[in-house]
Structure 1
């Protein structure tokens, strides 16, 4: 059996749990959430990185859909937009019940696998989504959100982002309370996008395993969105999982400067650098035609995974592609159908079937189950926090 056939055979038994996919925001931007106008039951190549046929082809068995809203939305507007994102994920699962199952627990993930469906979980990308309210946080959990990224590309009033100027140098007192309340709920604390100081601070406070939903190794590519080795080395004691991402500018050093130029070109055309609408992609491809892009490949991603396994251990790795949240993707990982190519590359590097099963499925299911178990213990000790940011940080 060749490597690609072996990879597909392995994924049939141990499918990919992908930590981060931005299709819900793409549905907002492209079709204003009208699922009739962008039917993911059909192949949508050229419009999105993601649809059900390609999820099936890629061996994806569980997807954390990002209910992302940009940092430009603040206050009540951010909360409202997050609720709209949650709504479209729930409508997707209702529209395609033969393929998608709304999953709230690790048991739900296993049930979806048994039924041949794709477990659909949700992660809120950015603490601005709760508008500094633990009550809002609890309501997001009640609606099915199972992780929250503490920041996106800008600081929140209570946590520092990797791509903003340090303010709190980690978490404020209210930020610590957010982490504790997430642990009490059973919501995973996602440390992608946050500064290294915030990562370390959250790991000191955490009473349950953490998640990095889409971050790679800073030692391999020195980008602020990646995880330093000293933080990776803390994961075994915490029990958390780091899910390697595929975004070229995060994994390939040569792509960093190129992306800065491409982003400037997008802004010059009045477009946001993260825009992946057809109009935006036309501008991106025109730029690429005159400014050849340094090519990241499946091998580039595998280099990060090799390093992360060496530092954190195989029990603490996963995959978080960031499909539909990036304009560019590595060769061999152009969309969600590409996962077998990555697994074949890792097989070629000597990764065992058991290690690959941990990478694709077991680690992610385990980290959610462990967060659920921790929440049972913590809820027996304390009730919902009524702390406010003014009372703690004022």
Structure 2
């Protein structure tokens, strides 16, 4: 909890709960050591962490989290969440993609899913193009509404991009294509381009203000959680024993 507060004081405003490893308190979307995800999800300590993030005003990013972790967070958080770079599981069954029930839950949570441009998430590794991205954007819009979808390309961490969307200079091509669809208004596209994300950011800060009188959490990670939920630590052992 102290590390979380220190990061917030340094200017960090969103935390991705997991990447390609579990943390001691949240499960990622990857299969690790032959153990499939979606069993434990978020631990009790993890729920305390979510509430402390709410109190601070730290946005919760559920990209790379398992679907069970996402469900547990949505049942716990008092503030909207983001998926900073994810896509729809219904269109590509990549482990990191979001199932429809979680997408639909964003309506009540008032969060936002920012669609990734990574081929492995759009078309399960096959060649993709602007139409592939639009298909995922439209699917999220169908399941949750235009107020809950955004753009989260992920160019800083991907090496296979859609044809026609190779870098940020191509963003206008995406919006020009969407403008040809009469179901997308100019205001809708403004929401997609960033207004939805800014709304979530503002609401997270509002929740923090309402919780400002609550005491900071002083919970610590139970030792058994560290032993049970940190199977990736062996990857770091050869680099520096101090890291584990």
1:237 paired residue among 81, 84, 108: 108
- For the Cα contact (< 8 Å) 1:173–1:393, is it kept in 2? no
- For the Cα contact (< 8 Å) 2:86–2:98, is it kept in 1? yes
Deviation at 1:302, TM superposition (A): 0.2
Deviation at 1:379, TM superposition (A): 1.8
2:23 paired residue among 156, 167, 180: 156
1:372 and 2:239 matched: no
In the other structure, the counterpart of 1:329 is 161
- Indicate the SS of the match to 2:15: strand
Separation in structure 1 between the aligned mates of residue 224 and residue 196 of structure 2, nearest angstrom: 35
Separation in structure 2 between the aligned mates of residue 167 and residue 237 of structure 1, nearest angstrom: 22
In the other structure, the counterpart of 2:73 is 202
1:308 and 2:140 matched: yes
In the other structure, the counterpart of 2:8 is 141
Separation in structure 2 between the aligned mates of residue 236 and residue 221 of structure 1, nearest angstrom: 22
- For the Cα contact (< 8 Å) 2:146–2:188, is it kept in 1? yes
Structure 1 or 2, whichever has the larger Rg, is: 1
- Indicate the SS of the match to 2:14: strand
In the other structure, the counterpart of 1:359 is 192
In the other structure, the counterpart of 1:346 is 178
Matches within 5 A, 1:274-313: 294-313=126-145
Deviation at 1:246, TM superposition (A): 0.2
4+ residue runs over 4 A deviation: 391-394
- Gap change, CA 1:339 and 1:230, over 3 Å in 2: same
CA root-mean-square deviation: 1.5
1:197-222 Cα offsets, whole Å, 9 max, x none, are: 00000000001000000001111111
Matches within 5 A, 1:1-394: 134-164=1-31, 165=35, 166=37, 169-253=40-124, 255=125, 294-350=126-182, 351-380=184-213, 382-390=214-222
Separation in structure 1 between the aligned mates of residue 197 and residue 224 of structure 2, nearest angstrom: 33
Separation in structure 2 between the aligned mates of residue 348 and residue 163 of structure 1, nearest angstrom: 37
- Gap change, CA 1:167 and 1:244, over 3 Å in 2: closer
Separation in structure 2 between the aligned mates of residue 369 and residue 206 of structure 1, nearest angstrom: 15
- For the Cα contact (< 8 Å) 2:24–2:225, is it kept in 1? no
Alignment TM-score, normalising by the size of structure 1 = 0.54
Separation in structure 2 between the aligned mates of residue 225 and residue 357 of structure 1, nearest angstrom: 27
Equivalences, count: 221
Separation in structure 2 between the aligned mates of residue 324 and residue 209 of structure 1, nearest angstrom: 25
1:311-330 Cα offsets, whole Å, 9 max, x none, are: 01000111111102011111
Separation in structure 2 between the aligned mates of residue 239 and residue 324 of structure 1, nearest angstrom: 27
- For the Cα contact (< 8 Å) 2:29–2:38, is it kept in 1? no
Q: Which runs of 5+ in 2 are unaligned?
A: 227-244
Separation in structure 1 between the aligned mates of residue 159 and residue 223 of structure 2, nearest angstrom: 41
Deviation at 1:168, TM superposition (A): 5.6
Separation in structure 1 between the aligned mates of residue 108 and residue 38 of structure 2, nearest angstrom: 28
- Indicate the SS of the match to 2:188: helix
Which range is displaced more, 239-248 or 348-357? 348-357
- For the Cα contact (< 8 Å) 2:14–2:59, is it kept in 1? yes
Deviation at 1:390, TM superposition (A): 2.2
Alignment TM-score, normalising by the size of structure 2 = 0.87
1:77-101 Cα offsets, whole Å, 9 max, x none, are: xxxxxxxxxxxxxxxxxxxxxxxxx
